[in-house]
Structure 1
Amino acid sequence: METLNTNRNSVHKKLHPASERGHVNFGWLDSHHSFSFGQWYHPEKTNFGALRVLNDDIVEPSMGFGTHPHQNMEIVSIPLFGELAHKDSTGTNGIIRTGDVQIMSAGSGILHSEFNHSNEKKVNFLQIWILPKVAGIEPRYAQKTFTEAGRINKFQTVVSPIDEEAIWINQDAYFSLATLDPGKELSYAVHSPDQGIFAFLISGKLKVEDTVLERRDAVGYWGNDAYKFQAEVKSELLVIEVPMK
């Protein structure tokens, strides 16, 4: 971790290169872990504030995760390509498609399963876990489709506790997507001083403050009120803002 002194704050940075992610391949599942998960453990990669898990999962056709329990976790799924079939104990039974964002508040306890909906093509999705603000809430499910046009050269908020255009989360956490053209610059302002951002580059190449990211690299920053992004090539970006305490 680096501490960068500015005129206003001590800004902290933690780089997460794609090459340092955990990796497991079970045949039906090829997964890279940004944070300790399952059989992969790294003492310096257990969480980033309230962000506990970010898995980059590729699932073979017709394969997936059988019914299993969760409790007191906010679980977000973002398909990058392909489709997921989802079932859970709230009675939800549906398909999560590319362009959709899904959230499940496990709360007091939930059972669910996720499978590749296709019997021909793979599915690649980000599975993200956020520690909840309030424990033991009634389990809930939400899903929404977001257009790519809504994030061209700007941030599109897809998960938020306050934005009615986004899907709700039981935490002071915000997920924003952006697709930047070459040379385009954006600034992201955090919602409160004790929040940090985890910037995950889905594709392309861009600079976050003084840090250059390439495909699947990530960097965490906290201690400042805003952060600058500049794309070197066309880039797809996910920014997750979370409480650091």
Structure 2
Amino acid sequence: MIEIIRSSEHYHNEEDWLSTYWHFSFAHYQNPDKMNFGPLRVFNDDIIQPETGFDLHPHRDMEIVTYVIDGELEHRDNQGNHGIIQPGEIQSMTAGSGILQSEYNHSKEKLLRLLQMCIFANKRGLDPSWEQRRFDRAARLNRLLPVIVPENIKNGQALHIHQDAAIYVSSLTPGSRVEHKLAKDRKANVFVIEGKVKLNDNNSIETRDATKVENENRLSIQADGRPAELILLDLLEKYAVNNN
């Protein structure tokens, strides 16, 4: 089953410094029908004006993944971490027992667009941690590039999180196709960052559309007529949190 959520169906909040699309209930937007998808709790698509951003704010017991699409994101936290995240870079942060972070568009003129995803950690009270890595477009060209994998998976390139979830990014040229197998008891979330694609040959989605994929054993994704950028999350159908 493939459920399509059109861009117009996402909650959209517009402020003088921020334009944001929220896929799930978050902050002041409360919707009991949109609480999570498996362990995926937050999926936000943000455009931040120059010289503005989010002041220090708390997180806890979440694996937070940030993917910068355009512009540059400056990160600071109360653990002493500081970094500039550029387009194509992934940041992975374990909030664990508690962390305060700020996110800022330090450019004087360029907009910043980023995706931020919060995934429930598989254990509470972990030590907070932070890392980032750059992935060139060539590495994701016409393939699904794993950028986030579970902590027990050996992958020298991808970043790791404390949950049985994986995230892939892809840049497709017109007409190109990628395939992804879904194991039993797995589901997927596919989001089109830019462009237009067909899922399993008959489901057409385009910029800012998302899909919830369940009870499918494979996904075929083809760029439809023009280049496309997308992100795919492979998730547990059911998950548990270890309180010990």
TM-score (ref. length: structure 2): 0.92
Q: Which residue of 2 aligns with 1:6?
A: none
Q: Which residue of 1 aligns with 2:195?
A: 204
Q: Which residue of 1 aligns with 2:17?
A: 28
SS at match of 1:239: strand
Q: Which residue of 1 aligns with 2:2?
A: 13
The correspondence of residues 28-177 of structure 1 with structure 2, limited to 5 A, is: 28-161=17-150, 162=153, 163-177=155-169
Q: Which amino acid aligns with 1:157?
A: P
Structure 1 position 239 matched with structure 2 position 232: yes
Which 5+ residue runs of structure 1 have no aligned equivalent?
Answer: 1-11
Q: Which residue of 2 aligns with 1:214?
A: 206
Q: Distance in 1 between matches of 2:173 and 2:111?
A: 28
Q: Distance in 2 between matches of 1:226 and 1:135?
A: 32
Question: How far 1:215 sits from its partner (Å)?
Answer: 0.6
Q: Distance in 1 between matches of 2:62 and 2:164?
A: 13
SS at match of 2:42: strand
Q: Could you tell me the percent identity over the aligned residues?
A: 39
Question: How far 1:208 sits from its partner (Å)?
Answer: 1.0
Which 5+ residue runs of structure 2 have no aligned equivalent?
Answer: 239-244
Q: Distance in 1 between matches of 2:115 and 2:82?
A: 20
Q: Distance in 1 between matches of 2:172 and 2:70?
A: 19
SS at match of 2:127: coil
Structure 1 position 228 matched with structure 2 position 220: yes
Q: 1:195 aligns with which of 186, 190, 194?
A: 186
CA RMSD of aligned residues (A): 1.2
Question: How far 1:194 sits from its partner (Å)?
Answer: 1.4
Give per-residue Cα distances to partners, 1:187-209, cap 9 Å, x unaligned. Answer: 1113x411111000011111112
Q: Distance in 2 between matches of 1:239 and 1:14?
A: 14
Q: 1:183 aligns with which of 164, 175, 187?
A: 175
Q: Which amino acid aligns with 1:236?
A: E
Q: Distance in 1 between matches of 2:34 and 2:82?
A: 34
Give per-residue Cα distances to partners, 1:88-132, cap 9 Å, x unaligned. Answer: 122101111111100110001111111102122111101111111
Question: How far 1:83 sits from its partner (Å)?
Answer: 0.5
Q: Distance in 2 between matches of 1:182 and 1:95?
A: 32
